[in-house]
Amino acid sequence: MKEVILSIASGKGGTGKTTIAASLASIIPNSVYIDCDVEEPNGHLLLKPKINTEEFVSKLLPKIDPYKCTICGKCVEVCEFNALINLKFEITLIDEMCHGCGACTYFCPGKAITEIEKQIGVIRKGVTEQGILFIDGLLNIGEVAAAPLIKAVKKKIVRSKYDQAVSFSKGEISNRNKTSKQYEYSTNSEIVGENEFVKAPYSNEGVNISRLGNFETEDSNPKTVKSKNIWGATEISLASIKSTDDNNQQYLFENTYVIDSPPGTSCSMVEAVSDSDYCILVTESTPFGLNDLKLAMEVLKTIDIPYGVVINKYDASYIEIEKYLEETKTDLLMKIPFDRKYAVAYSKGILPIVLYPGLKNEFLGLFDTIKEKLMKVENV
């Protein structure tokens, strides 16, 4: 099966979007949690990853050479974001408004504009104790535009246009306390012969081949495989795969990217959810929740992304959201009751599904529902 990009969004803050995103990442096999709420990322408080690498992100800003600039105003004319102002005696840049598109540099007739880098934030990568791959972005204080950093974070998503497969060939490694079979992987593209590998078309970063779950061989002992490309992690657990013979095995696997979007309906939210296969909109049982849900639904309709709704902090006394979803024939995926115990767990940095198995089963059912919807779309 191919990769799935599942985004979690909300029309307003405080609906429990991050809790739901982190919960889904915890129960979905081969998931990668991506926190695109770069102005205030807090998924790490719940998932508690070990951060292995940090990567600084910059945007390009125009630098105008006053000796070459004729103040013709062409750069001001082509700037879609009004970041350049013609003061008649000079062209001034408002760098907080600049998106780094490069149009001014390209169209400047006197070649008076060059580009310089300005650091806007950092991307952090790591892995949780449960083996969930973790990525988030953290915008620098004072930065106005979050979209460029979100775009950089999303570049860590590796999508292929065809099914992912991986094959393992026998070798020898020291597996913890004893020597055992090693099942290696390759990121090359084709099977080339006996004891060679089938590929998974990953980038050099090797984002997802990392976590396949519990691997069962003839002795049924879990195995691990070493990798150079898992953001500093030295061992990755392998997933529910059984060895059927002593030669090469090929297995299909699915990777799910869970994107925690910024709240609201601004360009940051649009950047985060774009290219998603499905979006879960999280709302709450209040008039404000309904109003902002309507706005978010309109955005997703405009950019043509399928979606369904989860009502968090559900209050049966307020039924307007359910009535609206019924009127608009929108899928109501799940209702999470307004319960103090869930809030207490969250306040302690604990996912409620860890403490309450019944809630975990509901989240498993939620993901099954989404998979069914995606399979129907794929088969159309």
Pairing of strands 31-35, 133-139: parallel
- Confidence bin at 379 (pLDDT 50/70/90): low
Which domains are assigned to the chain? 4-48+129-160+256-379 (3.40.50.300), 58-119 (3.30.70.20), 165-253 (no CATH)
- pLDDT, one tens digit per residue, over 29-74 is 889 999 999 999 999 999 999 999 999 999 999 999 999 999 999 9
Q: Which residues, 6+ apart, have CB-to-CB distance to 341 below 8 Å?
A: 352, 355, 356
Residue 198 or 278, more confident: 278
Pairing of strands 165-168, 249-252: antiparallel
Q: For the residues 253-259, what does the mean pLDDT come to?
A: 79
**In the predicted model, what is the mean pLDDT of the chain?**
78
Alpha carbon 216 to chain centroid, angstroms = 29
Helix, strand, coil proportions of the chain in percent (round to 5)? 25, 30, 45
Residue 42 or 164, more confident: 42
- pLDDT in the model for residue 141: 93
DSSP annotation string for 145-179: --HHHHHHHHTT----SS--EEEE-EEEEEETTEE
